[in-house]
Amino acid sequence: MISRQHTMAASASATSPITVRVLFFAAAREMAGTGGAEVELSGADAHTTAELRTRIAELYPGTADVIPSITLALNQEYLSHGEEATLNDGDEVALIPPISGG
């Protein structure tokens, strides 16, 4: 879980464009064709993980089908399934796809 301060507090620069470092792991790396990228978010009152998921699907179409089910870790803290968090400039978000097998 991430701290309430991070999820509830809106950054002073929330209405300005921000850059988020995105790390792709396992199958997400293969789908995106890269291990990481700097993704800019702009045009929203507050930038959220939902907005980031949409932007990643636009930039990396190979991830579009799985992006809703990918687990996110924000600044090395896992988010619960369905949990949305506010993003700030310089945050790091890791995309960790579901693991299959047995």
Chain-centre distance for alpha carbon 52: 5
Count the neighbouring beta carbons within 10 Å of the beta carbon of residue 12.
Answer: 9
Query: What residues does each domain of the chain span?
Result: 4-96
Q: Which residues of the chain have pLDDT under 70?
A: 1-15, 44, 100-102
Pairing of strands 77-78, 71-74: antiparallel
Indicate the DSSP class of residue 68.
G
pLDDT tens track for 6-34: 333 444 444 689 999 999 999 999 999 99
Those residues whose C-beta lies under 8 Å from the C-beta of residue 58, and which sit 6 or more positions away, are: none
pTM for the predicted model, two decimal places = 0.80
Task: Identify the CATH homologous superfamily for domain 4-96.
Answer: Beta-grasp domain (3.10.20.30)
